[in-house]
């Protein structure tokens, strides 16, 4: 009887269906008051619905630089980053926060542009970049993509950190809270239009959106582009304001399978409407622009999807 039972049990094990192993996808974003985080949540939802046996999670981070370091270290599957941070990472620029070139990072696809948004309280009297001298400015978390943007723009305008009255290295939400309490004069935030933190600030105190002139942007050079923050983007902003924009990318790990990355890329770019519903910045994501300007090679899985769509770099 024992022998028969053992045979029956062995047979049951052989014929029993093997449960599919769930694929964990850690999505590296940014601070919860920025744009990366809500879009990361939207991507998580899309992957859950569209990619079978996938278990996504969303991680709040210090954004671009930290995300790239984590991807290089195998601690994430999808990450948001600014194009200039990605270029610095590929080159291994130590002053930007990279100890060595990032050899394991691959592009998944281009998304929306980040706008350099310098916002001052009206009480500060700041109206131009030159007016920032001697004032208290938050430039983003240390060595974040935003802080690298701040260095680039200020340097091109002939302003050093030492010229400022005080420099704070704070994420978006914390910067806004200090401005509300009159402990800061201005904040530089690199994000999509309509970012929640600046909306909150503009709804709380009168603000001035500071122009970044075309001559400054030209001096910085690629991948920075001249653009405009449309009037009425924020409460009290009555006119268009010239500024700079930097493209954003989604990146992934080189060692992930082509099949997995193809499935993730297809799920994201076939469902851009769901991302746009999560944040207005995503409305500017276009499949036809997804392969433009990447400083690193595309993952073969992502490239396969875009080739099917007739998209080239």
Query: Kind and range of the H or E element at 118?
Result: strand 105-121
Q: Look at residue 15 and tell me whether its pLDDT is greater than 50.
A: no
Contact by Cβ (8 Å): 200, 235: no
CATH numbers and ranges of domains, the chain: 23-111+247-308 (3.40.190.10), 114-246 (3.40.190.10)
Confidence of residue 22 (pLDDT cuts 50, 70, 90): low
Residue 14's pLDDT band (cuts 50, 70, 90) = very low
Write the pLDDT tens digit of every residue in 237-246: 999 999 999 9
**The pLDDT of residue 161 is above 80:** yes
Find the mean pLDDT for residues 266-272. Answer: 98
Q: DSSP string covering 14-43, please?
A: HHSPPPPPPEEEEEE---TTSSHHHHHHHH
Q: Say whether pLDDT at 9 is over 80.
A: no
Q: What is the pLDDT of residues 162-209, one digit of tens each?
A: 999 999 999 999 999 999 999 999 999 999 999 999 999 999 999 999
Give the residue among 176, 229, 184 at the shortest CA–CA distance from 203: 176
The whole-angstrom separation of Cα 35 and Cα 29 is: 9
């Amino acid at each position: 009887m024992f022998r028969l039972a053992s045979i029956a049990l062995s047979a049951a094990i052989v014929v029993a269906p093997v449960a599919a192993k769930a694929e964990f996808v850690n999505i590296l974003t940014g601070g919860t008051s920025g744009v990366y985080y809500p879009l990361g949540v939207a991507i998580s939802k899309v992957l859950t619905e569209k990619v079978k046996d996938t278990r996504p999670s969303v991680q709040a981070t210090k954004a671009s630089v930290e995300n790239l370091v984590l991807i290089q270290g195998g601690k994430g599957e999808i990450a948001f980053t600014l194009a200039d941070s990605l270029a610095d990472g590929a080159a291994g620029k130590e002053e930007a926060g990279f100890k060595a070139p990032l050899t394991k990072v691959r592009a998944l696809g281009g998304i929306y542009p980040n706008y350099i948004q310098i916002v001052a309280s009206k009480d500060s009297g700041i109206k131009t970049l030159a007016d920032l001298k001697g004032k208290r400015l938050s430039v983003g978390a240390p060595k974040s993509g935003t802080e690298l943007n701040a260095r680039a723009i200020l340097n091109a305008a002939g302003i050093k950190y030492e010229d400022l009255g005080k420099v704070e290295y704070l994420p978006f939400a914390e910067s806004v809270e200090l401005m509300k309490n009159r402990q800061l004069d201005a904040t530089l935030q690199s994000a999509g239009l309509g970012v929640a933190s600046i909306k909150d600030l503009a709804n709380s105190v009168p603000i001035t959106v500071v122009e970044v002139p075309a001559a400054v942007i030209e001096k910085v050079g690629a991948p920075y582009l001249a653009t405009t923050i449309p009037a009425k983007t924020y409460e009290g902003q009555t006119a268009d304001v010239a500024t700079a924009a930097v493209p954003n990318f989604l990146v992934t790990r080189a060692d992930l399978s082509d099949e997995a990355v193809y499935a993730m890329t297809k799920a994201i770019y076939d469902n851009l409407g769901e991302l746009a519903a999560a944040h207005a910045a995503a409305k500017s994501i276009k499949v036809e622009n997804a392969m433009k300007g990447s400083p690193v090679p595309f993952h073969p899985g992502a490239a396969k999807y875009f080739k099917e769509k007739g998209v080239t770099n």
